[in-house]
Structure 1
């Protein structure tokens, strides 16, 4: 009875307040309480551009927004600069607000505050909330998850990262106890480091994002029904897996979803988010899909259920069908109406300084231009990834069901641009890449110089931008928007922009795989990648061997492309072969089709007197092309001075020796950057580059 009475009292008081405001034509007062981010520190013309001022513009004449930010303020009463003791705190109360927005905590993470007083934070925050709630104006109180503190800020480097995370978690718990709404200011600002020039304070553009989030939290207006960018006509959903449709709408708006003659409804939550779940379904289609609210509806007439894969990487994955060998034949004879394409094309790649228009596209929201789903007709196919299409085509022919393939590869992109900030912030080596993006010595020379050239106009234009080759940029732009879309697996062709730093690349690929599995919420997400081809460039043999060793990552596979390289062209044109080899791996490992899927892979080596006996996995029918001698094979003794080896194949075992080496220990095969290695198995699949000299 007591709870019921309280609820009735709250409802009555709310109605009385609304009635009073209407009678008196009184504006609704919003008090923005906080630290330097609220104040607008570092923002040019902060009186106009700080977030409370931009919030005022959005809310309009029926609201009065007050900026009560105080730079350096702590929520902690025992902090170094308590908000409690500021004139702004008293002014915010005298303002008689109807709504209070609190954004505090950033300064509490400091080593002069959190270590000694962290246990006091929750109680101090609850007391502040209660104080505002009990003002005569009885305001509604909203509290904020903090805006980001980026890794380049000295607080992060001084070990305050864990304090920041603790405060964010504590704020969520405080909101539950105080029964107040949380406004998440961490996302999406965490994906826009370019809007935080000092790694702590937002620019005008960052403040605009804060203002929009607070506006939506106050009004419940999230722009009505909105769907993810990847939804659309001809979309393909993953078969035999739970299917979730999601999006945003205005708070408490009812959303009806009708799919395959089944209708479900839900309501958008206080943050404008909604999700509707359907049970797993077998392959089939096309089916109709409709989303509707009382005001808006979106109908997708053709949705198929089948297999969905993501193709990503750099230019060799982005390499177009129209440019590959036998393109005319493919575009005439290998069209497949059951293969559906979704292309995410990077808008900005240039050999010159970026123009102002191009700089405006260099952020997580604008970088990719999405094609929508299309059937693989000649018109749509010629500009799509050749490797991705060959892969999807072979899958569809073998499985006989619809296949959807998403491609977001970007020419020249290094692997670090595809990894999330939260993952890269966990390791000192990668944190260093985040904090120093200009000509960094751990970034391949061409990549660093191209980024520096492109961004020359950044400071002159005043446009805050981030280069697509900078760490985390392509993850933010190309993975975040699709991470809720269920996929079967990933095919990956990348590495050319990381060959100067082989060991670092190996660490980064492991990090990327874990990171994507985490964000796609699929701990064993399949990840098949292409081993680099051959070219006369330094380190490529070493790099290929490092890729072979990365097969230790669970649920991965590697397609060898050594034999279809080019001595001087980093973009060899035999892309259908590469896509077909990836499809073999997927068909065998993912779909249990009994076909050869790998060329010979080094298993172990025995030393038999003056000979090495090299054993292989997938070495059945080991031979050389055209039954000639083995090319590009060298052995060495303990001194690792390699000489050309003589060879013989006996019962699928490769014997290697040299009269110059009495005690052979080491072997390199296919290790020359441009290799003419010719070992294959009975299926004609090439052996990987291998070495036992770099263990």
Structure 2
């Protein structure tokens, strides 16, 4: 234990022993504003966070609630805590431990802009005031609970003020040499517990109480490891291996891995982390993580390549339902591919039951399989696209491959983006908060949310639909974001196809967001372009996806040639997964294979013809040896007519007798397209146009 931690532990222990000797009671003073007071909580005397903290701590503690609604830390704020009777009473209480949670009211425009420079000194004064009491209490301060973007002042300066105050609280903790409890996480992942975007329900107050209880008692529930730890886990090769987890305060953590033993001590918040040097592929290795009284032993740990497969139903589409499933399940098993599935507990075309509503939150929504070997039984219910990708990858690189799938059928892209990202622009704030039949939300998605959630009003359950913005990020990405992965494969868009432009903006946010959270600004992100179906916007949507290739370190697998006129779930999944693997093999593993079909490069005007140049167009031809189909041409008036086309040395010449001065071309825009352009390798051309509307 380092000297700083030892000093803190001795101080807390001394106060506790002193209090027990004097009165057998440890006094805890909860200082704060309306969140501490319990504003808006039914039966707050029993359900506010200090009341629930009392229940957790037990009879040897006396917890007093000194919260005052509207109070500011600022002495010159509109309602200074310093002037309130509860402040005086908190001093007279002679506490052993003081918990301060103030700042939420300081962020308002009536306080922060004028007095922000005084916040630190006022806070330090308060800490000193309590420390100098005759009882010499231990003072612990708190980062603020969330202020959500639905608050009417959020975009009027509160968003920025909140961040400034949170940063200052961390700095104050260092300057005052006091510990800081982070009350922002995990509450930030539970907006359903904040009906007015500021005050928690009793469920939110319970989370606060548990966080404070851990800080006071040091009890964080013993040794715990992240979701993705377990037998047959695959760690990312050639990358620092960070083992992380939680345990009780000051526990000694010992890790044995790859014949190396390392130790550390858990911090004030119960967190621990140990880093191992990057390793080459191999295994199985034995991993043991232990405290003085608990040990977790994982016998089979592999080092190889780890990929995340995500999106909606076409990524979730199971192997047993794909074309040639029987052959795959018999002849394409691969013992060096390891599967990890995260399945949603609530997906229905009916009203959610109470049990399903109870699972609609960031903690409970996903049910995980654990790492599984590739057997027929395990593979039947795994993602067909994800497995095909991993299978073809492993066959080429010949090392262990781990594939994680957390795709959710019907999910729109906004449900996979983090709240911190969605709260940054006015457009996404609107989408985040206006969720009831929002015209920017795909009509099927909006109606499904309403249908599923009909029972919520008849229960006391606080739930959030998996299709609502940020839900699946909170439930499915947050728990795995610290796990090392090589890259992402993504098959989604069906639930955003009515709004191509909005989807493009959100997709760019998604990629940037995940790269930030996985701590890799160059994280490979390979996606599937939607297939063909008779839905009106799908042609334009496919082209909008093609334009997303402007994002660095992305790749796109075209699937328009394996679609179905009426079925949104086409069954030729092996083709799609294999095309994704070709992208990864070329871009990440230095194989020289062709990985893309023809992609529009530029268009030249030559008389009454257009010359269309492509990338990846070697051996440009048609799949059936017939003329080019589903191609149109237009002049500056943008009225498209069917065109004739001829392939000449990998260049596509396009014309029409109806168009004298051609400017624009469209290919594959018919929703269920019969476009037949391919390259030498048989990879299909993407839907394209040089018209940007």
Same fold (TM over 0.5): yes
Q: CA deviation at 1:673?
A: 0.4
Q: TM-score, normalising length from structure 2?
A: 0.98
In structure 2, the partner of 1:158 is 156
For residues 167-203 of structure 1, give each alpha carbon's deviation from its aligned partner in whole angstroms, at most 9, with x where no partner exists: 0000000110000000100000000000000000000
Q: Structure 1: how far apart are the matches of 2:607 and 2:207?
A: 71
Residue 206 of structure 2 is aligned to residue 204 of structure 1: no
**Superposition pairs of residues 80-479 of structure 1, within 5 angstroms:** 80-479=78-477
What's the counterpart of residue 693 of structure 1?
691
Q: Secondary structure at the match of 2:153?
A: helix
- Gap runs ≥5 in structure 2: none
Using the size of structure 1 for normalisation, the TM-score is 0.98
Aligned to 1:671: 669
Report if aligned partners of 2:319, 2:383 keep a CA contact under 8 Å in 1.
yes
Q: Secondary structure at 2:543's aligned position in 1? A: helix
* Aligned equivalent of 1:644: 642
| 2:545 aligns with one of 544, 547, 566 | 547
Contact 2:386 2:405 in 1 (8 A): yes
Please tell me whether the aligned partners of residues 192 and 464 of structure 2 are also in contact (alpha carbons under 8 angstroms).
Answer: yes
SS at match of 1:634: strand
Alpha-carbon distance change, 18 to 146 in structure 1, aligned in 2, over 3 angstroms: closer
Aligned equivalent of 1:23: 21
Q: Kindly tell me: are residues 453 and 9 of structure 1, through their superposed partners in 2, closer, same or farther at Cα, counting changes over 3 Å?
A: closer
Q: 2:503, 2:50 → 1: CA distance?
A: 44
1:613-624 aligned at under 5 Å gives the runs: 613-624=611-622
Distance change (3 Å), C-alpha of 1:162 and 1:678: same
Q: CA deviation at 1:660?
A: 1.1
Provide Cα deviations, 1:102-152, integer angstroms capped at 9, x if missing partner: 000000001110111111100000000000000011000000000000000
Go from structure 1 to structure 2 and tell me whether the alpha carbon gap of 1:529 and 1:94 turns closer, same or farther (over 3 Å shift).
Answer: same
Deviation string, structure 1 residues 517-548 (Cα, Å, up to 9, x no partner): 00000010000000000000011000000000
SS of the residue aligned with 2:673?
coil
Give 2:54's aligned residue: 56
Calculate the aligned-residue CA RMSD, in Å. Answer: 1.5
Number of the residue aligned with 1:605? 603
Runs (5+) with no aligned partner, structure 1: none
Deviation, 1:458, is 1.0
Q: How does 1:65-80 map to 2 (within 5 A)?
A: 65-80=63-78
Residue 593 of structure 1: CA displacement? 0.4
1:591-636 deviation digits (Å, cap 9, x = unpaired) = 1101111000000111111111111000000000121000100111
In the TM superposition, what is the alpha-carbon distance from 1:23 to its structure 2 partner? 3.0
Partner Cα separation in structure 2 for residue 633 and residue 20 of structure 1: 85
Shift of 1:638: 1.2
When the two structures are aligned, how many residues end up with a matched partner?
A: 691
- Whole-angstrom distance in 2 between the partners of 1:267 and 1:548: 49
CA gap 1:662/1:102 in 2 versus in 1, 3 angstroms: same
SS of 2:624's partner is helix
In structure 2, which of residues 471, 480, 483 is the aligned counterpart of residue 482 of structure 1?
A: 480
Residue 661 and residue 145 in structure 1: after superposition, are their counterparts in 2 closer, same or farther (change >3 A)? Answer: same
Structure 1 CA distance for aligned equivalents of residues 5 and 337 of structure 2: 56
Partners of 1:686 and 1:8 in 2: CA distance: 65
- Give the superposition deviation at 1:7: 13
Distance, in Å, in 1 between the alignment partners of 2:277 and 2:155 is 46
| 1:451-501 Cα distance to aligned partner (Å, 9 max, x none) | 011111111112110000000000000000000000000000000000111
Change (3 A) 1:291 1:409: same
Q: 2:6 & 2:311 partners in 1: Cα distance?
A: 58
3-state SS of 2:184 partner: coil
